[in-house]
Structure 1
Amino acid sequence: MSAVSNDLRKRGKKRYASGHHNKRWKGSRELEVGMQGILITCNMNERKCTAEAFNLLNEYADLLYGPEKLQDDNGSSSEGEEADEEDVDVALKKEVAQLKASGAKQERRFQALDSGANNVIFIKTQNLESDKLVHHILSDLHTTKKKKSRVILRMLPVSGTCKAFQDDMVKYLTTFLEPWFKTPNCGTYQIAFKARNSSHNKRDEIIKSIAGLVGKLNPKNKVDLTNPELTIIVEVIKAVCCISVVKDYTLYRKYNVQEVVKEDTPKPDVNSAQTDTNKDEEKEENDAEETNKQEKKKGEDDNDNNVPQDKKEADEDEGNGE
């Protein structure tokens, strides 16, 4: 009896696993290596974010590239009239060939795929440059200050994808970064790295390796974390690394469509503000040193050297950790 029940349980598990696998396979439209598109982050409402993304992208794509033309709309009426005069078999074969051709080219210019991370959707693009489209959208929003979305947060173009392993990333970026950074091209840059559902890549090591690669392409390339000309975006999701090089990353609030429409508040001069900040930091360091000296002297006067000495060592360890 137990053998029969075990057999039934095994068969049940097989059926469940098989059905579950088929369901995922049929509906699996996921981000993969070799794709181009746009990563869009949102706040807890991916369904509404997808609808907003399609509306926003199509609005500006129509302006830049014209309305989308579907494959099965080309010349249907004129071909129908000619078919009346042709032999029935020939017309039928022609129609079947057209249906096969249209079915093979059914991809739209925007397709929503599973990114592999929560609150992130991936819009696969077809026959357009995602970096130019996203930059155009943010430029218009920054100029008009007109809010056109409620749940979309950031729109990050993906001009290339590769496997999310350090060796694969460096190999891919060696060629990918040439149009911007290889001699005679050069510029100031920063690297914006983020990993989701991936723990095998260390942020500092990736950034260091990419910076070394950019330096090899042209020694005149310089890092600028305040106002760089170019930003290298590296977004890792599971086993896929999404890459793009964008302009005006700081100006357009890290490509955040909610922030870019806000009115710019007057800011103090960068140099003077930085000088004031440095002075404040120096003052804090001097005050801290003075406090440590006073604590140490007080401890010596009280014949209790261990307490302030331990406090000083703890402060030094904390500073080294930062």
Structure 2
Amino acid sequence: MSAEGQKGKKRGKSQYLGDAKRHKGSKQLEVGMQGILITCNMNERKCVGEAYSLLNEYGEVLYGAEKLGEKDDLASGNEEEEDDDDMEAALKKEVDQIRTSTEKNLRRFQSMESGANNVVFIRTLNVDPEKLVHYILKDLYTTKKKKTRVILRMLPVTGTCKAFPDDLKKYAEAFFQPWFKAPNKGTFQIVYKSRNNNHMNRDEVIKDLAGIVGSLNPENKVDLSNPEYTIVVEIIKSVCCLSVVKDYTLFRKYNLQEVVKATKEEKPQQPANDDKQKAQEQTQEEPVSDANA
């Protein structure tokens, strides 16, 4: 084989390995992502299909039809000016254009490896996960139409940080402010679940987070029977997923199978007229922590 052929072969192998690494890295739940954590019943592939169908259906209602970025603006039109660039500069330019193209064409919903069995993570882009999931559950609760078979729970993830005590405490101090920092206030409970992680202690996490909420405003109080907010803590391996949700018990711990069976005697929270858009929740809530999947 010629030297040129050998060179092409080596480049092909290198390029393949590079693509594989990028693909693997882009498909993992990572710190900094927002999205939706979904538990399922032993069939993750079908769960992903159901999730895409459901999220796209309701996503279009809330956010309109998805529009992918056009690639006609990727090139700057300066090809002639950069004819004299050396090989390194030309390669850097190509890589930058590919990166820009990828960013522009990220989908609204993208499945990621969660790091736990029977758990799927759908990364969201330009979507409020809590608003979308609550909208879905409210519609299912109202219509009683069963739209999924293998999806069990659907939990919004509006914040992520490293799953270490110091990282979580530092992150939570800023994350909780929109709900709990004075003059904002509310009653709350904390539900906790950990998977494939052995360096976070459930009781310590709950104590730390409750302390942070109390420090933001002393009028924030734990309420085990009728809280306004539920703080959801989902830890998977080295990533901690956080969200603050409403109607957690009314919507049966955000379980899509159970919410369609619920009676209509209770009503979801309705936004108030104040800046925080708080609501009265007509439900009975569970204890401070929840270790159920």
TM-score of the superposition, structure 2-length normalised?
A: 0.73
Deviation track 1:201-242 (CA, whole Å, cap 9, x = no partner) reads 110111011111111111111111222110001100000000
Task: State the AA in 1 paired with 2:48.
Answer: T
Q: 1:34 to 1:263 in 2, by over 3 A?
A: closer
Paired position in structure 1 for 2:127: 128
Q: Please say if residues 34 and 161 of structure 1, whose CA atoms lie closer than 8 Å, have aligned partners that are also in contact.
A: yes
Question: Residues of 1 paired with 2:63 and 2:71: CA distance?
Answer: 18
Paired position in structure 1 for 2:249: 250
Paired position in structure 2 for 1:10: none
Deviation at 1:128, TM superposition (A): 1.0
Deviation track 1:63-116 (CA, whole Å, cap 9, x = no partner) reads 0010101113889xxxxxxxxxxxxx89xxxxx9xx855444121010000000
Question: Residues of 1 paired with 2:166 and 2:199: CA distance?
Answer: 12
Paired position in structure 2 for 1:211: 210
**Is 1:43 equivalent to 2:41 in the alignment?**
yes
Q: Please say if residues 36 and 158 of structure 1, whose CA atoms lie closer than 8 Å, have aligned partners that are also in contact.
A: yes
Question: Residues of 2 paired with 1:263 and 1:31: CA distance?
Answer: 32
2:258 is paired with a residue whose SS is coil
What pairs with 1:1-322 in structure 2 (closer than 5 Å)? 26-28=23-25, 29-72=27-70, 101-264=100-263
Task: State the AA in 2 paired with 1:49.
Answer: C
TM-score of the superposition, structure 1-length normalised?
A: 0.67
Q: Please say if residues 47 and 150 of structure 2, whose CA atoms lie closer than 8 Å, have aligned partners that are also in contact.
A: yes
Q: Please say if residues 40 and 120 of structure 1, whose CA atoms lie closer than 8 Å, have aligned partners that are also in contact.
A: yes
Size of the alignment, in residue pairs?
234
Deviation at 1:263, TM superposition (A): 3.9
Q: 1:20 to 1:203 in 2, by over 3 A?
A: farther
Q: 1:50 to 1:25 in 2, by over 3 A?
A: same
Q: Please say if residues 71 and 101 of structure 2, whose CA atoms lie closer than 8 Å, have aligned partners that are also in contact.
A: no
Report the RMSD for the aligned CA atoms in angstroms. 3.0
Deviation at 1:198, TM superposition (A): 0.3
2:257 is paired with a residue whose SS is coil
Deviation at 1:164, TM superposition (A): 0.3
Deviation at 1:20, TM superposition (A): 10
Q: Please say if residues 30 and 113 of structure 1, whose CA atoms lie closer than 8 Å, have aligned partners that are also in contact.
A: yes
Question: Residues of 1 paired with 2:102 and 2:184: CA distance?
Answer: 43
Structure 2 residues not aligned, in runs of 5+:
1-15, 74-79, 82-93, 267-283, 285-293
Question: Residues of 2 paired with 1:149 and 1:65: CA distance?
Answer: 22
Deviation track 1:149-176 (CA, whole Å, cap 9, x = no partner) reads 0000000000010000111101000010
Question: Residues of 2 paired with 1:139 and 1:153: CA distance?
Answer: 16
Identity %, equivalent residues: 62
Q: 1:60 to 1:104 in 2, by over 3 A?
A: closer
Q: 1:213 to 1:104 in 2, by over 3 A?
A: closer
Structure 1 residues not aligned, in runs of 5+:
1-18, 76-88, 91-95, 268-273, 275-322
Deviation track 1:246-286 (CA, whole Å, cap 9, x = no partner) reads 0111111110000000042989xxxxxx9xxxxxxxxxxxx
2:183 is paired with a residue whose SS is coil
Question: Residues of 2 paired with 1:127 and 1:22: CA distance?
Answer: 26
Q: Please say if residues 227 and 250 of structure 1, whose CA atoms lie closer than 8 Å, have aligned partners that are also in contact.
A: no
Question: Residues of 1 paired with 2:68 and 2:101: CA distance?
Answer: 9
